[in-house]
Structure formats: structure tokens, C-alpha cells
């Protein structure tokens, strides 16, 4: 099935399960993302909680990803999240293997191919260059390299570990150049995003700097300002 197209560079905001991003909080960020995307022309996606996928897609029309999905056909499963459910809610894809929701390589492979089969995009998270190489071989749409020790902090991967970005970009180009590369962890400014893109990525995956901001539109405006 044909995958949705997504113009890069991409700024993908993972809302995680923060208090600030549940329900009304997700609307606050969705509204800000729509505003800044319209002003700047830069693609801003959001990965909200399942319960906010439909409202965010419906009200703001921005690209929405799930934070995880179960590669299941609809049927007798309880407490799971089938691909068909996120798709019908309006998601265009899903994160897979986030460092806060690790999967086995066999599960990741199943997930990537199920997403592809359902016409949804996969954004598979990775923690280092070796893992990035293994994941690129699975042919996801995006691989997002995020050193776990920098996640949620104020020093970004662009500042603290540019080598992991360039190394990841190099292995992905060698193994499967069709895979697009994102990076994340501690991304908080336009300079962090610009460095990531200058190092060869197709954008960033981030969370706390936007989710915890008093004014998410102000932070998003800064994040896209140098693109
Ligand atoms: O999925 C994004 C993430 O793990 C990075 O989080 O808070 O460092 O931007 P943060």
C-alpha cells in the first residue's frame, strides 16, 4: 500500500505521557504546531497519546504519529492497539522502539513491515550507530537516533554528540539510502535543529522543550527559525 508522503525537514514532537500533553495540553501544542507550520512552511508532526490522535488530526490537520502500535489484525485482542485503529483515528504512522518502549529486533521487523502493509509510516528509534545500522536494514521510512543519556536533558545530541549523528547518517546511506534519518535528545533551539540538518539528517524528534514550554509556539518558532 502506498505510504503517505511527508516533506522534510521534519520536526516531530513526541508528546509522551507528560501531564502537559494530555487532552487540553495536546490541543495547546497541536494549535501551536499548526500556527508555526503555516508561518514557516516547515513540516511539524506530533505523536500524541492514542486518545488524542483523532482530536489533534481533526482540529489541526497536522501529521500525526502514534507513539507505538501493535502489528495486529483487528480481532480478539484486549488492551492492544491495532494498526487499523491508529489509521482510522487519522495517524499517518507510528514511532517504533522508542527508548522508553523498547522492542526486540524481531518485533521491530514485524512492526515495520505491518506498518508498510497498512500504508503507514514507520519511525524506528535507535540508541547508537550499530543499532542504527541494524534498523536501517529493516527498511523503515525513518530511523531516529537518540542517545538515551541525553533524553529529557538540556544539552542536545547536536551539541554533545555530533559524531553519533554523522555516524548514523553514514551507515544509513551505505545500508539503505531510502531511509530518512532523524535525531533527537535534548533538542531545544533553532541552532540544535540546524546543526542536525547540516550534519545530514532529515529533521529532529523531540519532546520536553516543546511539551514543557509555557509558550510552545514560541519554542517551535525558534526550532524552525534557521531552516
Ligand atoms: O522522542 C523524543 C525524545 O525521546 C527526546 O526527548 O525530551 O530529550 O526532547 P527530549
Q: Residue 14 Cα, ligand 1 centroid: separation in angstroms?
A: 7
Give the mutation target among 10, 13, 14 for probing the ligand 1 site: most ligand atoms within 8 A of CB.
14
User: pLDDT of 57-104, one tens digit each?
Assistant: 999 999 999 999 999 999 999 999 999 999 999 999 999 999 999 999
At 210, is the pLDDT very low, low, confident or very high (cuts 50, 70, 90)? very high
CA angle 182, 216, 53 (to 5 degrees): 65
Closest CA to 16 of 59, 50, 58: 50
| pLDDT over threshold 90, residue 4 | no
Q: Residue 57 Cα, ligand 1 centroid: separation in angstroms?
A: 21
User: pLDDT of 150-192, one tens digit each?
Assistant: 999 999 999 999 999 999 999 999 999 999 999 999 999 999 9
- Ligand 1 neighbourhood includes 182 CB (under 6 angstroms): no
User: Which member of 20, 68, 98, 109 is catalytic?
Assistant: 98
**pTM of this structure:** 0.97
Q: Which residue, chain included where needed, has cell 533524553?
A: 151
| pLDDT over threshold 80, residue 1 | no
Catalytic-residue membership of 98: yes
Q: Return the percent helix, strand and coil in the chain, to nearest 5.
A: 45, 15, 40
Catalytic-residue membership of 73: no
CATH class of 10-224: alpha beta
Closest CA to 149 of 124, 172, 128: 128
- Ligand 1 neighbourhood includes 205 CB (under 6 angstroms): yes
Atom of ligand 1 nearest to the CA of 208: 7
Amino acid at each position: 500500500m502506498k505510504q503517505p508522503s511527508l516533506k522534510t525537514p521534519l520536526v516531530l514532537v513526541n508528546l509522551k505521557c507528560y501531564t502537559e500533553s494530555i487532552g487540553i495540553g495536546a490541543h495547546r501544542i497541536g494549535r501551536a504546531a499548526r500556527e508555526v507550520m503555516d508561518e514557516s512552511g516547515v513540516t511539524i508532526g506530533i505523536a500524541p497519546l492514542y486518545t488524542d490522535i483523532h482530536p489533534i488530526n481533526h482540529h489541526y490537520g497536522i501529521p500525526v504519529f502514534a507513539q507505538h502500535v501493535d502489528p495486529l489484525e483487528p480481532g480478539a485482542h484486549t488492551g492492544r492497539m491495532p494498526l487499523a485503529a491508529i489509521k482510522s483515528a487519522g495517524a499517518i504512522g507510528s514511532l517504533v522502539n522508542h527508548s522508553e518502549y523498547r522492542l526486540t529486533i524481531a518485533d521491530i521487523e514485524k512492526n515495520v513491515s505491518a506498518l508498510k502493509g497498512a500504508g503507514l509510516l514507520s519511525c524506528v528509534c535507535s540508541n547508537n550507530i550499530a543499532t542504527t545500522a541494524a534498523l536501517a536494514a529493516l527498511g523503515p521510512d525513518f530511523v531516529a537516533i537518540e542517545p538515551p543519556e541525553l533524553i529529557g536533558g538540556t544539552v542536545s545530541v547536536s551539541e554533545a554528540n555530533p559524531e553519533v549523528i554523522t555516524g548514523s547518517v553514514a551507515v544509513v546511506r551505505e545500508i539503505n539510502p531510502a531511509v530518512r534519518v532523524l535525531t533527537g535528545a535534548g533538542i531545544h533551539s533553532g541552532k540544535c535543529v540546524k546543526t542536525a540538518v547540516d550534519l545530514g539528517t532529515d529533521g529532529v524528534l523531540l519532546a520536553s522543550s516543546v511539551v514543557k514550554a509555557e509558550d510552545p509556539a514560541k519554542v517551535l518558532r525558534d526550532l524552525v527559525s534557521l531552516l
